[in-house]
Amino acid sequence: MVDVYPKADPQLERTAAMLAEARSVDEVVEILRLTARRIAGSDGAAIVLRDGPSCFYAAEDSIEPLWRGSRFPLDDCVSGWAMLHGETVVIPDIAADPRVPRPAYANKAICSLVMVPIGAPEPVAALGAYWCAMVLFDPTTLARLETLARQAGEAFSRVRKGTPADAAMTDRVTAVP
């Protein structure tokens, strides 16, 4: 039997330490922006915050601009689907999956993606990783992304309980209807 969860992953360990020190939603988002793409080995990564009935693409690190600063209804995008269902979405071919909104991807060099919900039991965000080629995802890549999402969920939960200013901002950005 193959153990898909790495025993010691230096990148994930460093990121976990950084997330443990984060004091605000903005810091958690920035740490994810700086680390997610490298941890996933992807061509792009996006951090999407739940904002009531919408998804807010708060940050990204990619080879081309994606959707940073954009809002989409939860029901109309893959990140929203991941948050609403609390499940990781694995899409090797975006052209073959009905959850992918075609117009949003029309001018993007994206063929494959993984979207992982962040936060439990109610996801407050999602972490997306994107590839320009069609990818058959190995269990280790998925495990790394899900581990990073768990770490981020713990950080979001902790900063939400932090100072009143942080809590007010987190409540606004991650409101669950």
Tens of pLDDT, residues 99-117? 999 999 988 999 999 999 9
Q: The tokens of 36 are what? A: 């997610």
Provide the sign of the torsion angle of the four alpha carbons 106, 97, 36, 47, taken in this order.
Answer: positive
Q: What 8-state DSSP symbol labels residue 58?
A: E
| One-letter amino acid for residue 119 of the chain | G
Report the alpha-carbon distance of residue 40 to residue 34 in Å, rounded: 12
Domains and CATH numbers, the chain: 10-167 (3.30.450.40)
Q: Cis before residue 121, ω within 30 degrees of 0?
A: yes
CA atoms within 13 A on the CB side of 20: 6
Cα-to-chain-centroid distance, residue 36: 8
Strand partners of residue 114: 90, 129
pLDDT digits (tens, 9 = 90+) for 31-65: 999 999 999 999 999 999 999 999 999 999 999 88
- Does position 166 have pLDDT exceeding 90, yes or no? no
Share of the chain above pLDDT 70, in %: 87
Assign 160 a pLDDT band (cuts: 50, 70, 90).
confident
Pairing of strands 89-91, 71-73: unpaired
Per-chain mean pLDDT for the chain: 89
